[in-house]
Every structure is written in C-alpha cells, then in structure tokens.
A and B are shown apart, each in its own frame.
Chain A
Amino acid sequence: DAGVIQSPRHEVTEMGQEVTLRCKPISGHDYLFWYRQTMMRGLELLIYFNNNVPIDDSGMPEDRFSAKMPNASFSTLKIQPSEPRDSAVYFCASRGQGANQPQHFGDGTRLSIL
C-alpha cells in the first residue's frame, strides 16, 4: 500500500514568496496532521483535520500559515509570505478511525527560505 505522500521533497525559495506544501494521506484514513520539525523546537503539531474539517489549529504559528483539506485525499499547507525562520522540515501524517490507530508519516518537505 502507498504510504503518505508529500511533495515537493525539497523547496528553496526567497523570503516573501508563497510556499505550498502538499500531502496525500493513506486512503481510508480519517485524520490528517501537519507537523513542523526544527532543531530548536523539535516536532511541533501545527494543525489536524478529521474528515476534511480542521479540528485544532492552535499550533499554527501565525496568520501567514494556512492549511486546507478540500477532499479526503489531498491537503495543502501554505505559507504567505514566507520568512527565513519558516525554514524547517514539514511532515504530514495520517491515521485511521479509532483511538488506538497510530499515525503514519510521510517523508517530509525540507523547506529553505533564503
């Protein structure tokens, strides 16, 4: 079975530009999570969705960040405008229904803002 698929794997752009990260969860999974990983702050949950509806976005750092899930098989995380401090690895994860279901992670997008 295909796992969680993220694109692009790497993104380098200049500050002020809009950045869009994409995620395709595992088919049949009801929950989707966006994380950010940095050396300083570790792994941080940004937002998660259930059945395409945002449930908790308390981890979204600023209004520059937005996330959408237009359907069960696709989600985006957008940063506009981007800043150098947004440089990090962004992970998407998904899980099935049921409290005992583990999260499955994609390989991440390494984002560098110059």
Chain B
Amino acid sequence: AQSVTQPDIHITVSEGASLELRCNYSYGATPYLFWYVQSPGQGLQLLLKYFSGDTLVQGIKGFEAEFKRSQSSFNLRKPSVHWSDAAEYFCAVGASGTYKYIFGTGTRLKVLA
C-alpha cells in the first residue's frame, strides 16, 4: 500500500540556518511527489512537485527537493531559512492511475530569531 512518512513532527532552526525536512514514501512504481506548506489559518500551498526527469527540483520561496529512488526519499531543503518560513510542511505522493494523494502527517517548523 502507498504511504508517506515524515519522521520529524517538529523542527526548530535558527534564522539563516539551512533546513532539511525528510519525507519517505512507499510505492511500487515511480510516484508523483509534492511538497506543500501550510501557514496558520491558511490552506495548503504547493511548494514544488516531481514527476520525472531531473531528480533535483526547484520550487517557490527558495525551496528545493531531491528525489532519491534508492532511498525512497524526497527531502525538502532550503539553504537559509527566513522567519516567514515558520509553518507546517506536508509531503504527498500521488500515483499514476489515481487522482488521490496520500499526505504525510506534516512537520511543523519553528524559526528562532
């Protein structure tokens, strides 16, 4: 069965520090992978997506993610975090032939000034 695991429930980083949020998926074929961000009181906003091709994808707000098939991972990174990046981040997997996404449980990011 498809599944998505975000092992870190909470992460705290200092402003200006680098960030990596982990995402592991379970799916037999090549998945479609997404990262969304949710600010308080808001809906989910798409940061980036991977379907095929280059395994390093660039997104909005300076985020990037790397698809590693051998590790079944799609980790989100940002070289220098800003206070406005404090939010909850969700990884999701969708698969060809289905229009449903499986969402991870989210990682809540706190940024220290």
Separation of A95 and B100 alpha carbons in the complex (Å): 11
Question: A91 near B43 (CB under 8 angstroms)?
Answer: yes
- Is A68 positioned at the interface, with any CB of B under 8 Å from its CB? no
CB neighbors of B among A70-102 (8 A)? 91, 93, 95, 99-100, 102
Separation of A42 and B102 alpha carbons in the complex (Å): 11
Smallest CB–CB gap between B32 and chain A, Å? 6
Contact with A along B32-50 (1 / 0, CB 8 A): 1010100001111110010
Smallest CB–CB gap between A36 and chain B, Å? 12
Question: B44 near A45 (CB under 8 angstroms)?
Answer: no
Interface size on B, residues (CB 8 A): 21
Residue of B nearest to A97 (CB): B99
Separation of A41 and B106 alpha carbons in the complex (Å): 11
Separation of A99 and B106 alpha carbons in the complex (Å): 23
Supply 20 further A-B pairs (C-beta < 8 A) apart from A4-B43, A105-B44: A31-B99, A42-B103, A42-B106, A45-B100, A48-B100, A50-B99, A95-B99, A99-B97, A100-B32, A100-B49, A100-B51, A102-B34, A102-B46, A102-B49, A105-B36, A105-B45, A107-B42, A107-B43, A108-B42, A108-B43
